[in-house]
Structure 1
Amino acid sequence: MAELGGGNDDNKPLRKIAQSFKELAAAAEDARAPVVEVAPFSRACSLVSPLFGCLGIAFKFAEMDYVAKVHDLADASKSIVTLQALLDHDTERNCVRKAGSHSRNLLRVKRGLDMVRVLFEQILISEGNSLRDPASKAYAQVFAPHHGWAIRTAVAAGMYALPTKAQLLKKLNEDENSAKTHLQDYIVASEPVILYINRLFLSRDLGIDW
């Protein structure tokens, strides 16, 4: 993937991701009425898409899957306002767990957000320039339990082609200091959004491990 350009905000994906998820977190944690709308959620998730591309072949499956499902949620936002209404819509039609349903896609997108959160946590605590350990831990924690042997094997092989930490930051137009702030901001802001989505599923006895 090519570098994302110069120094303005449009070419600072980490900054835009962090800001968007701060806004979602504020909605998810609203003491009066926690409501996350589909349109801003799908827009924020689309900003995360380039991260998978920057990680190379190891996460190519995740990039393709994630992007397609975010597009579906963006389409759904034209007629469904909130994530809660989206789940209710599928529940009424008895299609929550069906392949291609908005609810199933929401769960997969949430998993992608969680993987990025764990990756960022591991990058911040890891020493050296390699991303192999942070990426391996993030994959093992979030994606591996849901993947078969073939995908797990392909991902393990792809880990040897990951960019270095310095190469990743260069692609994202950040230096180590500026990146650290944005990574931490995303970690903090994404957690309440992820928990909010989990609660939507669990409160309807739908589970989150399928």
Structure 2
Amino acid sequence: MIAKRTSSHSLSNSNGHLNDLLEFDGHYCDFGFPVGHAVTTFEFLSATLPRISSSKLDLRSSKLDEVIRSFAKVFDAEQDEIDTAKLLKACRAHLELMRSGGSALCLVAKDLESNLLKVESLYKKSPMECKTLTSLLELERESNIHNGNMLHDPSASMGLLWIRRSLAFQSHFFQSLVSSDGQPPKDAAYEAYNEHLWPYHGWMLRTVFPASLSQMPHREVFLSKFGEVDMEELDHVTVHKICKKLMALVTTLEPLLMYWKGSFLKLNLEDERRV
């Protein structure tokens, strides 16, 4: 299901060839959610997600393929909830994808890993009580370590808060790579940072993160790394396939991140303080 953004980087035909990248059989994209349904509430995740056919993942981008597959399995339709174990597995797969992106994404990867460890620490202690995202958040909230929505750090809730923001930043950035006539990666990364991370960063992180993002290479370098192909192999067909995968990841993440944030808001755990 494609979540329509309300911000300036909407998925709805923001560039000329997105429709080509979202070709689908029946009602589904090659990898992700049902097409053509505007998302306004959390009901979009109530249906079972389609299985991802390995025959459609015919490049050598095993890391990207694994991320798409893993996030497509995170939402448990029977429980109408996010499965914590599957979410952690998907985030671990995503961490490996970030590491493959080179030095420009090194700080993003380190931040993601640090926050993953916070969540995994609680999950390993109480896997049954933390089976779903909501049950994990409720368990920690009931332990009284937080002060309302002022989250204790380190804590699993704080880790999940920042993982979600990081994934939102990355999803925004991935979408920018799809269009050959879009922003240069460095500019797209700054835009994504300003929307998803800057409001919650203090002066030090507002200096460190942009400096790291300034190292962004050309679009073709990222496509080569994420597609796990040599630069010499980036012909039109190969680029098209890699971009379809990136759009599949974006359209899989978008509704998941909306539900994720909704869980925090419902439990009054959305900490908006700067760090």
TM-score by length of 1: 0.83
| 2:181 maps to 1:127 | yes
Residues 48-197 of structure 1 aligned to structure 2 (within 5 Å): 48-78=94-124, 79=126, 80-96=130-146, 97-125=151-179, 127=181, 130-172=184-226, 173=228, 175-197=238-260
Shift of 1:179: 1.4
* 2:73 aligned counterpart, secondary structure: helix
Q: What one-letter code is carried by the residue in structure 1 that aligns with 2:186?
A: R
Q: Whose relative contact order is higher, 1 or 2, with alpha carbons under 8 Å and at least 6 apart?
A: 1
> Within 2, Cα distance between the matches of 1:198 and 1:157?
28
Identity in percent: 24
Q: CA deviation at 1:206?
A: 2.4
- Matched-pair contact (CA < 8 Å) for 2:177–2:185: yes
How far residue 56 of structure 1 moved from its aligned partner, in angstroms, is 4.5
SS at match of 1:194: helix
Q: Mean alpha-carbon deviation: is it higher for 182-191 or for 168-177?
A: 168-177
More helix by share: 1
Q: Show the counterpart of 2:54.
A: none
Unaligned runs of 5+ in 1: 1-6
CA contact (8 A) 2:161 2:270 kept: no
Once the two structures are TM-superposed, the CA of residue 75 in structure 1 deviates from its matched residue by: 3.7
RMSD, matched Cα: 2.5
1:60 positional shift: 3.4
**CA deviations over 1:21-42 (Å, ceiling 9, x no partner):** 22224x3xx3x53111211100
Q: 1:121 to 1:11 in 2, by over 3 A?
A: closer
| Residue in structure 2 matching 1:47, options 93, 118, 138 | 93
Does the aligned pair in 1 maintain the 2:120–2:156 contact within 8 Å? no
In structure 2, C-alpha distance between the alignment counterparts of 1:22 and 1:59, rounded to whole Å: 23
Q: TM-score, normalised by structure 2?
A: 0.65
Asked if the contact 2:70–2:90 (Cα under 8 Å) also holds between the matched residues in 1, the reply is: yes
User: How many positions carry a matched residue from both structures?
Assistant: 200
Output the amino acid matched with 2:84.
V
- Structure 1 residue 208, shift from structure 2 partner: 4.8
In 2, Cα distance between equivalents of 1:73 and 1:98:
13
Partner SS state of residue 82, structure 2:
coil
1:77 alignment partner, SS class: helix
In structure 1, distance between residues paired with 2:72 and 2:99: 23
Larger Rg: 2
Residue 112 of structure 1, CA deviation: 1.2
Question: Aligned with 1:161: secondary structure?
Answer: coil
